[in-house]
Amino acid sequence: MAGELITQTFDYDGGRQVTVYLPPGRPQAAVFGGDGQLISRWGEYLEAADSPPTMIVGVYRSDSEDEMDRLREYSAAFDVERFAAHERFFVYDVREWVRSRFGVMLLADRTAVSGVSASAEFSLAMGLRHPDLYSTVFAASPGGGYRPPSVMPNALPRTYLTAGTLEPFFLDNATRWAEALRTAGADVVMSEQVGDHGDPFWQAEFLKMVDWAFGS
């Protein structure tokens, strides 16, 4: 890998790590993602695919052994206060650190928010709640805790959804979101792939997502 991985530990939640993949040369785009342990390592695949130089900001999930702690951060349906605290950390604290530490502009039209499974729900929520910061959403196999609102915001992010044929629950959720966003007038890609939850198609689709959003 020609790029660099830089990890910072924040005070949030007793110590939460964020790993940034910094591509060779000046970044042309940025992706902020939940489940950062996973997606921050995908920078090497962007390099191999000759994708646009893209910074990946991977915000780690909770290290609690209780899976519900992760879900409480990623979906307001489970815990409104926990979700709001994580939203503030993700959207404001991490973003300000990235801006000051790396000297990047973080223009909305060159910034995406990304996630897989439960963090894909979170990426959809952040895209709808903060379209002024994230012009694009990448959501792989979104869970079902957060569903399309009955009334969509006026400003909608471009959204690339994907899910596998062997994970029907998540495929149904992704399809539901694609249909709702299209109906509301958003620019949407819905990619159905052969695969199960967590299979390598997530990584392969991430490369396509970056090229779709930021390619020339």
DSSP codes of every residue in 13-54: GG-EEEEEEE-SSS-SEEEEESSHHHHGGGHHHHHHTT---E
Q: Residues 69-113: pLDDT tens digits?
A: 989 999 998 999 999 999 999 999 999 999 999 999 899 999 999
Note the pLDDT of residue 216: 66
The CATH fold assigned to 4-214 is Rossmann fold (3.40.50)
Note the pLDDT of residue 65: 86
Sequence spans of domains, the chain: 4-214
Q: How confident is the model at residue 67 (pLDDT cuts 50, 70, 90)?
A: confident
Q: Residues 167-205: pLDDT tens digits?
A: 999 999 999 999 999 999 999 999 999 999 999 999 999
Q: Residues 143-173: pLDDT tens digits?
A: 978 899 999 999 999 999 999 999 999 999 9
